[in-house]
Amino acid sequence: MRILLVEDEPTLQAQLAEGTRAAGYVVDLADNGVDAHFLGDTESYDAVVLDLGLPLMDGISVLRKWRAAGRVMPVLILTARDSWHEKVAGIDAGADDYLTKPFHMEELLARLRALIRRAGGHASAELVCGALTLDTRNSRATVAGKALALTSHEYRVLAYLMHHRDEIISRNDLVEHIYAQDFDRDSNTVEVFIGRLRKKLPAGLIETVRGLGYRLTTPPP
């Protein structure tokens, strides 16, 4: 899963980047509203962490521009301001959740997981497809209770397919969501990860839809 982290305070940005990357996210960074708006408008993200007090363009304005342009990714706003009207303004501008500084990293990660789950129509922290279970809290996957040994990129591909179960996902979509913006992206590597996953998962779980992409299919009951 790929997120955009927008925070102008260098120490906090570094801490948030370290914590979210350690949790398995691919993270792009911005430290001002202009860059944040551009990235959110041109790149694909599963969620955004957006500070409100930004230079060049404030977070509320960034969010309003995204929503006006039809950008629907979940947004978690951060604010050091403890006034209720700031939170209301953020929610009214299109935010999905908020955190007031200071906060614990674990709470931010829990809220991110919940936002991404809800965006995919999932209520539980555990996503299930037949014998396959994905524990989004611990970044673990099991088949019939047995843990799968997955690389970080294999897990990211599987997690994205699980969050969008029964949907056709193109190779370009997968590339957009498993690599950071400054990474040398190669769509051919997706085929390698899919091939490795197929060897570790029940047969037929990941389907190739010719000319369109891949689909993780729910097995019949």
Indicate the domain borders of the chain.
2-119, 126-216
pLDDT tens-digit series, residues 113-123: 999 999 888 88
The half-sphere exposure of 176 on its side-chain side, counting CA atoms within 13 A, is 13
Model pLDDT for residues 8-58, shown as the tens digit of each residue: 999 999 999 999 999 999 999 999 999 999 999 999 999 999 999 999 999
CA–CA distance, 135 with 107 (Å, rounded to integer): 17
**For residues 205-216, average pLDDT:** 95
**Can you tell me the distance from the alpha carbon of 65 to that of 6, in angstroms, rounded to the nearest whole number?**
15
User: What is the C-alpha to C-alpha distance for residues 21 and 145, in angstroms, rounded to an integer?
Assistant: 26
CATH architecture of 2-119: 3-Layer(aba) Sandwich (3.40)
pLDDT confidence band for 81 (50 / 70 / 90)? low
**Between residues 55 and 183, the one the model is more confident about:** 55
Whether residue 17 contacts residue 5, with contact meaning beta carbons closer than 8 Å, is answered with yes
Exposed, middle or buried, 70 (CB in 10 Å: 0-12/13-18/19+)? exposed
Q: Is-contact 36 50, C-beta < 8 A? A: yes
Q: How far is CA 98 from the centre of its chain?
A: 16
Q: Is the dihedral of CA 110, 13, 175, 35 positive or negative?
A: positive
State the average pLDDT over residues 187-211: 92
Q: Is 79 helix (H, G, I), strand (E, B) or coil?
A: strand
Nearest to 36 by CA among 18, 17, 63: 63
Residue 125's pLDDT band, with cuts at 50, 70 and 90, is confident
The amino acid at 105: M
Looking at the domain 126-216, which fold is it? Arc Repressor Mutant, subunit A (1.10.10)
Largest CA-CA distance found in the chain, in angstroms, rounded: 54
Cis amide bond preceding 102, omega within 30: yes
